[in-house]
Amino acid sequence: MRAVLVVNPKATTTSERSRDVLVRALRSQVDLSVRYTRRRGHATDLAREAAEEGVDLVVTLGGDGTVNEVVNGLMTAEPPTIRTGGTPAERLPALATVPGGSTNVFARALGLPREWPEGTSMILEGLRLGRSRTIGLGRADDRYFTFCAGFGIDAAVIHRVEQARRRGRVSTPALYLRSTVNQYFLRSDRRHPTITLERPGEAAVGELATVIIQNTAPWTYLGEREINPNPEASFDLGLDVLAMRQLRVASTARTVTQAFSRDPDPRGRQVLRLHDVNEFTLLTSRPQAFQLDGDYLGEREKVRFASIPAALRVIC
């Protein structure tokens, strides 16, 4: 089996020594080539090249941002003609994810441990046993995502965290909490919701303040604690949506508390939830912060979302 390991050398929970250990472990199972990212977006190019070379497996070592880039490289590749048969997922290399970031939502949603040594052991076992599954993806305009997207306040919080990290701050649950409180009280226009959600064949829903989209559950983690606005979201179904009509203090606090609970089921007059949706569009009269898989992508006035079923094989 030919494989490519795509390494983010800035992965927060690994070192050069641990990467060497990982490479030796993988080479005991596969014919491995190692490629390092040098800039944002480079993992997309490396994964696309690997797929077009006809490799059987692409392994990521990094966080959710690295995984997202690799997935986009795989999904936009043109594999060799030898792989023209079978389903779209069977024509692409399989994906294996070694957790190396600070949160690793995608890897943990697949049932992998948070730490990279344990995650590596499970991947090696999966390779020995031929254990894999096919998952669906989400797509926002022309970019794919694995577990979540956000339009509004959650994306603005991610932007604040990324700015803090560029100033040398370490990504911690406390940093996210402080950024959320500051964004909510000081930066968000909570009294004038401007987002509209449109679905084919359905009446448009307007005056939404912020929207969370999930392709699986949980949405994210705060340390070890799952946060689950849409607990029924699944890789095997369409997209799930939670939108807040208003960001009033009482209703927002209630929804956040519900999402943090051990049996989450956010509800209320200010909450709109949609389950297993194939496609929809978000529009706004005022540009909103936008994120995919925890990466801030700027502000948008319109984004079209779609569910892409059975898109990719993953080692689990």
At residue 262, the pLDDT reads 79
Q: What pairing do the DSSP bridges indicate for beta strands 210-214 and 295-315?
A: unpaired
Whether the pLDDT of residue 47 is over 90: the answer is: yes
| Total residues belonging to the chain | 316
Q: What is the pLDDT, as a whole number, of residue 296?
A: 96
Q: How confident is the model at residue 82 (pLDDT cuts 50, 70, 90)?
A: low
- Answer yes or no: is pLDDT of 132 > 80: yes
Q: What's the pLDDT band for 11 if we cut at 50, 70, 90?
A: confident
Dist CA 34 CA 36 (whole Å):
7
Residue 13 is predicted with a pLDDT of 76
Is the confidence at residue 85, as pLDDT, over 70? no
The 10s digit of each residue's pLDDT in 245-269 is 988 888 888 888 888 887 888 888 8
- Per DSSP (E only), the strands in 141-238 are 143-145, 148-151, 195-198, 205-208, 210-214, 220-222, 225-227
